[in-house]
Chain A
Amino acid sequence: MSTTALVGNGPRPTIVLVGHGMVGQRFLEALAERGLTATHRVVVLCEEPRPAYDRVALTSYFSGKTPEDLSMTDMQFIADHGIELYVGDPAETIDREARKVTARSGLVVDYDVLVLATGSYPFVPPVPNKDAEGCFVYRTIEDLLAIEEYAKSRATTGAVVGGGLLGLEAAGALKGLGLNAHIVEFAPRLMPVQVDEGGGAALLRTIADMGLSVHTGVGTQEIVVGEDGAVTGMKLSDGSELAADMVVFSAGVRPRDQLARESGLTVGERGGISVDEQCRTVNDPHVFAIGECALASDGRVYGLVAPGYEQAETAAATIAADEASFTGADLSTKLKLLGVDVASFGDAHGTTEDCLDVVYSDSRAGLYKKLVIGRDGTLLGGILVGDAEAYGTLRAFTGSVPPVSPESLVLPAGSGESVQLGPSALPDEAIICSCHNVSKGTIRGAVTDHQCTTVPEVKKCTKAGTGCGSCVKVLGQLVTAELEASGVEVDKGLCGCFSQTREELYEIVLALRINTYQDLLDRYGRDGAKGGDGCEVCKPTVGSIIASLAPTIGASNYVLEGEQAALQDSNDHFLANLQKNGSYSVVPRIPGGEITPEGLIVIGEIARDFGLYTKITGGQRIDMFGARVEQLPLIWARLVDAGFESGHAYGKALRTVKSCVGQTWCRYGVQDSVRMAIDLELRYRGLRSPHKLKSAVSGCARECAEAQSKDFGIIATSNGWNLYVGGNGGATPRHADLLAQDLTDAELIKLIDRFLMFYIRTADRLERTSTWLERIPGGLDHVRDVVVEDSLGICEELESLMADHVSHYRDEWATTINDPEKLSRFVSFVNAPDTPDPVVGFVPERDQIKPDLPLLSIGMRPSENPADVLEGSAQR
């Protein structure tokens, strides 16, 4: 290996990175991509106790993300590239003469190249008592942990100093922690850097409606403390006083340039380490500075992550002796603050000479949109508050004359003047992904030259859409447009038999009350497929749609009835799970994982009597393996007799609702999670859906039931229930997103009814809720609009469909064991109903059984003479 050889040949040149934040991590990745980690020793000194994490998403900690979720550091990456990462050990001094860095621990590292990525520190105005107990800043995960602890134990009211981006996030976090939250902003409006007066007014109204108290145009004069030295309030510049148990300073940040100053590097008047276009310090060719600590060659300190990334790339390229430069960056941002879209791009404040504004404002709806236009019609910039849908397109048009009139771009849809300007109108050089600086031309090239046909492929190929993600929607439109333009027919049809998507078939079935597969195929199938047998893709899909809607469309709600039996996947047809040797496993429903000793004994006796292998499942129930098809009815007769019913482990249907033991027993529990899990499992049992559905209910935030890895997960709060959706374990784990908070029992059930029915209605075949949420246009926000705000006006219908399902449910195993005709299908051989399949055999393993696989390869049991078995039955 060449890397080993290099080590053996003597010391490699050393790159020392000071600071391991988002930009620092990006720099390491850029080094690795350029092969520099193989040729150089790379040492990282990180002050914080944890490696790089997503500081932009810091606030999501309060909506349930753990510090681990926020991590951006793959330790495997660090290890694979031999990077020496010292966490919790900041650089303390730099000796530029000797090219040595000394860390707090006493570690001394010689460097050939030193890269400073020390970021920034929160600015705390020099007011009396600013360091009192109960005063906090909002910058690191440790800050958040401290805020959370104090808020929970000692505070009911909190004040945030600063009404900028971070201040609003901090205020939202305090409110989320149950505090009365105040925002104190010195400027006359909120987010003074990003938005103008009109935008600030729209924002103020929306924020105030959320129950946050906003005080603009006032400064903080003093923090008031009580006898114990802890915060009791603050004095404001207008003479008023505000009572508060804690204060969070979020009044902007300053570059952390102390280390550079002390080592004699030039810093700007208002801070920031002066660097040139290659991000090299102006004094020392061996030292670079990137990110928020750097004063770029255009005289600005960039506090956004995208320019920081660009600087990281520039520094890495320069170290690799490649050409690169950073001459300034676009300050465009699109954010979702407390649920409000806020975007600003280009010359948002209209500082260009002779520029004009086009403004649409509706403060009642919390909407404000402003475009800044040059004399010649060039789009120079703009501000969007309340609806930033057009951000991707508008930003890309910045610097050019849009092909339609500017006012049509800001008027609301449906006003007659509004124009949906598609990304196809953009020039090739328009930047679509500003995080990674990817142009429309590059994205088109990914489709035309690199044969990418899906958004995930294009993301992988170009990196577009892998930063903040705000351009993914535009990306999707571009990919589709490009595929269509290049003659690739994008057939969205379900299969060779239907040109419709699953969603379209669902709508047809529901609207026209079509209740047989053959009717649907003959009327709506592709020309060549009409009148045929369909295929293994559309039959179970349509079978599932019919089953989901059965009571409403007048179909039987028993999946083995009539034609429906022929549509079911093999597992559903036998109401059991086929295993590799042709035997089945059996899973009775154990709602919420709660089971009596008598129930356990029954299951144990059945497993023992039929010689089944037993295993506890991940869904808190018991799986019995090794049943032959003809044994299934006998096993189920006993299970049904003991009060068990189908667990639908074989179906694309609700599987289990796991629970922790909850308030009843647990000293931490705040709600009865077991009761809720049982209620939910009994409510949704038997519900056929595009894919399996899993759920869990946790009785407190400790989340022992792992609800955030479920399709719908519920976590108890002291005020009710938080509902999370779209979680998944498996090959592509995804943490669920918070859909709604502090729900009552009734609100929770209503919302789940709507959510599940909306998913069943719109998902693709075999699409779990996690991929569905990622795919559907608008994502979680759209789903929330539909199921919480009822933006499509369909909630009543969704609820009524679910009510139909719930009231018509019946256990399909109980139905089956009482139906002699259906029972006759449960045989291995139609001509020898009592004869077991001779290749289903078992051998011992750890005191139980396992499939006899050699038997499968032989194809028959050699020890028996089948002619004897068939004696008398063969009618020749």
Chain B
Amino acid sequence: MTLAPETTDLKVQLRLADSWFTVCDLTVLLPGRGVAALLPDGHQVALFRDRAGTLYAIDNRDPFNGAAVLSRGLIGSHQGRPFVASPLLKQRFDLASGQCLDDESVRIATYEVRTS
């Protein structure tokens, strides 16, 4: 087990039930792309950083197919709302609410995220 190298002070943290979980250095996040993180309970989170520097965290699992790939999708904005498009079949998910923009019956979990 190795750890991601730490190069700056700013860390990206996710809010779990009772605490903040440190994921990685902020500098690891490329604007416009995502990374995946593994949580202690086995869930996977997709973390994104947009052009303006805002961070988002949603469930990494594509609910349409089950594969843990949303972190590998392209992000964009639709009517001012940030979204990620699944790399599998391109369904879009609102990064702030987890709502699927192409199927209103589908919504995925989101996480509170901060730097500290």
Contact = CB atoms under 8 A, between A and B. Distances in A.
Given A536-B92, A566-B33, A873-B3, A856 B66 contact: yes
A863 to B, nearest CB: 11
Contact of B32 (A567, A569, A869): A567
Interface in B67-112: 67-69, 72-78, 80, 82, 85, 87-88, 90, 92
Contact of A867 (B3, B40, B75, B77): B40
Given A536-B92, A830-B37, A835-B38, A872 B32 contact: no
Interface string A333-364: 00000000000000000000000000000000
A529 B68 CA distance: 30
B40 A532 contact: no
A35 B18 CA distance: 72
Contacts of B61: 839, 859
B8 interface: no
Interface in A519-552: 528-529, 531-537, 539-540
A839 B77 contact: no
A606 B42 CA distance: 31
A533 B77 contact: yes
A299 interface: no
A670 B87 CA distance: 45
Interface stretch (A87-95, A576-584, A597-605): A576-584
Contact of A533 (B65, B69, B73, B76): B76
B71 to A, nearest CB: 9
Interface string A822-863: 001100111111110111100000000000010011011100
A533 B50 contact: yes
A867 B77 CA distance: 35
Q: Place the interface of chain B in its size category.
A: 35 or more
A321 interface: no
Contact of B40 (A531, A853, A866): A866
A565 interface: yes
A849 B69 CA distance: 21
Interface in B1-23: 1-4, 11, 19-23
Contact of A831 (B19, B23, B42): B23
Contacts of B68: 582, 837, 839, 859
Contacts of B58: none
Interface in A176-198: none
A596 interface: no
A578 B37 contact: no
A566 B76 CA distance: 11
Interface in B24-74: 24, 28, 30-33, 35-44, 47, 50-51, 61, 65-69, 72-74
A655 B21 CA distance: 43
Given A831-B37, A870-B40, A876 B22 contact: yes
A866 B50 CA distance: 29
A831 B1 contact: no
B65 to A, nearest CB: 6
A872 B19 contact: no
Contacts, number: 146
Nearest to B89: A580
A518 B50 CA distance: 12
Given A496-B78, A533-B51, A570-B87, A871 B1 contact: yes
Nearest to B11: A875
B77 A532 contact: yes
A98 interface: no
Interface in A448-486: none
Q: Place the interface of chain A in its size category.
A: 35 or more
A856 B62 CA distance: 10
B67 A582 contact: yes
B75 A533 contact: yes
A874 B77 CA distance: 32
Contacts of A567: 32
A869 B39 CA distance: 10
B74 A539 contact: yes
A7 B87 CA distance: 55
A830 B76 contact: no
Contact of B38 (A496, A529, A831): A831
Given A567-B32, A570-B87, A536 B73 contact: yes
Contact of B74 (A518, A528, A540, A871): A540
A581 B62 CA distance: 10
B38 A876 contact: no
A837 B42 CA distance: 10
B72 A578 contact: yes
A533 to B, nearest CB: 5
A578 B23 contact: no
A873 B92 CA distance: 31
B74 A536 contact: yes
Contact of B2 (A825, A834, A860, A876): A834
Contacts of B38: 828-829, 831-832, 835, 866, 869-870
Contact of B77 (A534, A832, A870, A871): A534
Contact of A580 (B4, B21, B65, B73): B65
A856 B42 contact: no
B3 A580 contact: no
A573 interface: yes
Given A566-B31, A860-B42, A536 B20 contact: no
A833 B2 contact: yes
Contacts of A875: 11, 21-22
A872 B67 contact: no
A573 B72 contact: yes
Contacts of A581: 66-67
A275 to B, nearest CB: 58
Nearest to A866: B42
A536 B39 CA distance: 28
A869 B73 contact: no
Contacts of B44: 829, 837
A574 interface: yes
Given A565-B30, A565-B33, A580 B72 contact: no
A338 B30 CA distance: 58
A856 B36 contact: no
A580 B88 contact: yes
A574 B87 CA distance: 12
Contacts of B24: 830-831
A869 B1 contact: yes
B25 to A, nearest CB: 9
A570 B77 CA distance: 17
Contacts of B90: 536
Contacts of A573: 33, 72
B76 A574 contact: no
A866 B87 contact: no
A824 B30 CA distance: 12
Nearest to B16: A876
A627 B6 CA distance: 28
A830 to B, nearest CB: 4
A828 B51 CA distance: 23
Contacts of A837: 36, 44, 68
A675 to B, nearest CB: 38
21 contacts: A532-B77, A534-B77, A535-B74, A535-B77, A539-B74, A566-B30, A571-B87, A573-B72, A578-B88, A581-B67, A582-B67, A582-B69, A831-B38, A834-B1, A837-B68, A839-B61, A856-B65, A860-B43, A866-B40, A867-B40, A873-B3
Given A535-B78, A569-B87, 7 more contacts: A533-B77, A565-B33, A830-B36, A834-B1, A835-B38, A870-B40, A873-B3
The 6 closest A-B pairs by CB, nearest first: A856-B66, A566-B32, A535-B76, A570-B87, A866-B42, A536-B85
